[in-house]
């Protein structure tokens, strides 16, 4: 976990993230993206992260591994 308590940036400031996924995960993201008519992979990842974060707020609805 990274301690960001020193950050002076606002909560609205965007932050770039970089990470690696498996080929199967990339295909799953692309399949989800196509099914939802999203042409940009980064936009698809952004939406999936938002969905997961909202689902995590409702622990009885979704079990994340």
Evaluate the CA torsion angle 40, 50, 22, 18 in order and state its sign. Answer: positive
Residue 63 and residue 61: Cα distance in Å, rounded?
7
Q: What is the pTM of this model?
A: 0.69
For 24-60, what is each residue's pLDDT tens digit?
999 999 999 999 999 999 999 999 999 999 988 876 6
Residue 56 and residue 61: Cα distance in Å, rounded?
8
pLDDT at 12: 78
- Domain residue limits, the chain: 40-65
pLDDT > 90? residue 9? no
């Amino acid at each position: 976990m990274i301690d960001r308590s020193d950050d002076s940036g606002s909560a609205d400031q965007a932050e770039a993230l970089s990470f690696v996924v498996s080929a199967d995960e990339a295909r799953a993201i692309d399949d989800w993206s196509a099914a939802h008519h999203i042409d940009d992979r980064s936009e698809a990842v952004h939406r999936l992260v938002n969905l997961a974060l909202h689902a995590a707020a409702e622990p009885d609805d979704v079990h994340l591994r």
